[in-house]
Each structure stands twice: as C-alpha cells, then as structure tokens.
Amino acid sequence: MYDLGARRVLVTGTGPLGCVPAELGMRSRNGQCAPELQQAAALFNPQLVQMLTNLNTKIGGHVFIAANAQQMHMDFISDPQAYGFVTSKVACCGQGPYNGIGLCTPASNLCPNRDLYAFWDPFHPSEKANKFIVQQIMSGSNKYMNPMNLSTIMALDSIE
C-alpha cells in the first residue's frame, strides 16, 4: 500500500469476538463472553500493533495507525449503563438467545429503541455504539489509538 502511494492507513484490530450476541447465543449460558475467542483477540491485537510499529520504523514515519477496536467495544460491553445502554448482551434485532442467532430479518425480534442497545444485530455495534467508537478514533488516547489518534494525524498533516 505504501509503495502504491498510501501515506496514512488506519488499521482496525479485531473487536471482542467472544462478546458479540452471536457468540453469546451459541456459546454462553450465563451471559459471559466466550473466553477462547476473547483470548484469540487478546493475542492477535498486540501482535498487529507490533507489526504496524515495525512497518512504521522501516518506513521512517507514522503511516500505519492501529485502532484498538477490542478496547473500544469492551468499554461499553463492561459497563453499558455508563454509555446509556440497557444491555450489551442482547442485540436490538435478531432471534434466539440474546437475539444472537441468524440475521436481522422481518421475522426477527426488534427492540423498541435501538439507542438503548450496544449491538444492532448479532455482530455489529448499534449506531450509538459506533459513535463512541468513532470518538475514540478521532480523539482517543493511546489506550485506543497507536501511535496517535486521527485528530492528531490531521493536525500534523495540515502543517506538513
């Protein structure tokens, strides 16, 4: 990508694979995240950051920026009420346990207010949850963005 002219590439790590309603619906009996999938994400994401750091070192700049999607999601999964959600376990639209089985179709259960749910369907964050994620991409700390957030990148690029 760099050789083709890309000068800024935002790379998003994997989210909390074991905590999405689809996995809760298939694997969880008590609402707990699937530990083996969470472990896989916990192993992958730091390796992704290290790989991007190595690429940036080789290139000699901050071309590749890592977004820690797992941490962004885990904030509202761990404490949904702090973000205005009633739940982070049940999808707004779906079927079966946690509304986590199948796709969102006309036959699905549909919540009365999607802004109260962290997940829209068995896999995807709701619009409100995505707004929190975008806020972290734009102005989040190094807890979420490595080596810097998008606002910092844009400020640097405007003076170059």
pLDDT at position 126 is: 98
pLDDT at position 159 is: 86
Q: What is the pTM of this model?
A: 0.90
Q: How many residues are given for the chain?
A: 160
The residue ranges of every structural domain in the chain are 9-151
pLDDT at position 160 is: 67
Residue numbers in the chain where pLDDT is lower than 70:
160
* Top-level class of domain 9-151: alpha beta
